[in-house]
Structure 1
Amino acid sequence: MNTQTDLVKNINNKYNSLSKGQKLLANYILNNYDKAVYLTAAKMGKIVGVSESTVVRFATILGYDGYPKLQRALEEMAKNKLNSVQRMEVTFDRINKDNILKYVLHSDAEKIRLTSEEIDEEAFKNAIEMLLHAKKIYIIGIRSSAPLASFLSYYLGLIFDHVVMIQSNSTSELFEQLYRIGEEDVLVGISFPRYSRSTLKAMEFASNRKAKLISITDSYVSPMTKYCDCNLLARCDMASIADSIVAPMSIINAIIVGVCQQKQEEVVSTFASLEEIWNEYQVYRYDEEGNQTNPED
């Protein structure tokens, strides 16, 4: 039980049997879920006027294995409903302006840690196999997911000669670029809260054409997973001014390494040829000690 529907339904179903203090907690969560999601058990108890132990018992009564699991359900409830202004307000409340750098670095490190613990390794292996056997690979990521899609497209484009990055979120252009997708092809869709409608439309279109679909998204209740054969889940921060994409970027790095490992000889040959071209056309330059440097540096 971890979707917003489960949480609201469970609170409503059990409301009449709750104690006075638990009803206060239920009302606070239903009316202030966007604030409640960031509170510790102690802080929520203080705001509502009950003890920390009452908050923990309330989570157990709702069927959650402790307060952190209730918080995770609250995240699912809140993530797609916070607009950009609300996200900024939450961020400003959470971060001490004198400790911004450490807060963000520690927060990003925590997302990678949690993603590492929660990732489905079988799904990851399946994704690698799907990419290796695809006739054509399509990749879509829009808005803050666009850099992820671009990075994945760049490196897969060096490995395969059949990679297409969907370049527009215009509905008509999107379908034009996907027009030839078929059951031997793979579409990788990347989207995080707030989920892109264009990406979801692309996934639905490809699914109807019987293409294989891989999602890189944040949870199993993401609308992205509805169409997909394979879901790679990465933690993100839906209450930050700028979306945190470090965990999905790590998954993408792993995909690139995984594909390269299965095509070692071809990849080595490809990059040996590329090195000759880069040297011939001075894509990189060498400093006085023979180290390569970017010519724009």
Structure 2
Amino acid sequence: MKKIQMNFHRLSKGQKMIAQYIMENYDKAAFMTAAKLGEKVGVSESTVVRFANVLDFEGYPHMQKELQEMIRTRLTTVQRIEMSTDYSNEENVVKKVLKADIDNLRMTMESIDFKVFEEAVKAITEAKHIYIVAMRSSTTLADFLAFYLNLIRNNVYVTSRSVSDIFDILFRVNKDDLVIGIGFPRYSSKTIEALDYAKSQGAKVLAITDSLISPLVSHADFTLTAKSNMESFVDSLVAPLSLLNALIVAVGIKEKRKVSTTFGKLEDIWEKYKVYS
């Protein structure tokens, strides 16, 4: 938006029409192809491409990506529903959603910082207590992570499961503990506040979020990112879930003896009480 304002005087008549449309409809423009944006404004696709170049972007895809990053955290549910109306039929829905999830997995794998991943595994194995903080759709991820960490080690708590306020659970947190905050757009202010408190008490904080410009990052000692892009009112949790899966497996390998003992005892309990048919 700042680039548009600074370069507006340099734009041609057609490019000014594009700029005006983006300023007024940024939530829709961010997910349009160059051809579709040109059609909507009434200019050619090449004019849209040149517009991106005038703003010093490498091309239209680069400008579009930057615009998406800027506005994705501000989209309301209504705006997400409006964006998803491009799914014309059931077959199109399946293909577009699966492709988006595949792209999210690919981008997550390409951007993973393996050094930070190792630090996260070490923090999980060494922490006296682990608190997992997540709200809204991210509670699904928190429950998945907590379910398996509880099989590996003791003292794992999930704030979303409690009837108490987050701070009623976190008030004893200290330097020997690890707080794992999970948050994706739209970010929960409660999660951010909880991480801020944990950090002030000296606890280590691991943020699991979608990008390094997420508001969770400024309160974290280390951050793991997983892409959750989805042009819909539904959050894509495929890549974040896969990242958590990798984290759990890595912790399990570190704690192989404990895991073996735990599951040996559980198998006896499951057999005695016919947990599985």
After TM superposition, the score normalised by the length of structure 2 is 0.93
Moved more, 139-148 or 115-124: 115-124
Partners of 2:232 and 2:62 lie apart in 1 by: 21
Query: Is residue 2:56 matched to residue 1:56?
Result: no
**Does 2:276 correspond to 1:276?**
no
- The amino acid of 2:27's aligned partner reads D
The one-letter code matched in structure 2 to 1:247 is A
Q: Distance in 1 between matches of 2:81 and 2:247?
A: 32
SS in 1 for 2:73: coil
Q: After alignment, is 241-250 or 109-118 more displaced?
A: 109-118
Q: Is the 8 A contact 1:33 1:77 kept in 2?
A: no
After superposition, give the CA deviation of every residue in 1:111-131 in whole Å (9 maximum; x if it has no partner). Answer: 112211222222222211211
- Shifted more, 112-121 versus 140-149: the winner is 112-121
Take 2:109 and 2:115, find their aligned partners in 1: how far apart are those partners?
A: 13
Q: Is the 8 A contact 1:29 1:36 kept in 2?
A: yes
The one-letter code of the counterpart of 2:37 is M
Given that residues 139 and 153 in structure 1 are in contact (C-alpha distance below 8 angstroms), is that contact kept between their aligned partners in structure 2? yes
Matched, 1:46 2:39: yes
CA–CA distance in 1 between the matches of 2:18 and 2:154? 56
User: 2:68 maps to what in 1?
Assistant: 75
2:247 pairs with 227, 247, 255, which one? 255
**Equivalent position SS for 1:79:** helix
Mapped partners of 1:28, 1:162: distance in 2: 53
CA contact (8 A) 2:139 2:160 kept: no
**Aligned equivalent of 2:108:** 115
Looking at structure 2, the residues matched to 72 and 224 of structure 1 have their Cα atoms a distance apart, in angstroms, of 21
Contact 2:15 2:48 in 1 (8 A): yes
Residue 265 (structure 1) aligned with residue 257 (structure 2): yes
CA contact (8 A) 1:34 1:82 kept: yes
Q: RMSD value over aligned CA atoms? A: 1.9
Q: Which has the higher contact order (CA 8 A, sep 6+)?
A: 2
Structure 1 stretches of 5 or more lacking a match? 1-7, 286-297
Q: Residue 175 of structure 1: CA displacement? A: 0.7
Task: Say which is worse superposed, 242-251 or 65-74, in terms of deviation.
Answer: 65-74
CA distance in 2, matches of 1:52, 1:72: 17
1:204: which partner in 2? 196
CA contact (8 A) 1:169 1:198 kept: no
Q: Does the 8 A contact of 2:176 with 2:203 survive in 1?
A: yes
Counterpart CA distance in 1 for 2:208 and 2:88 is: 28
Give secondary structure in 2 for the equivalent of 1:223.
coil
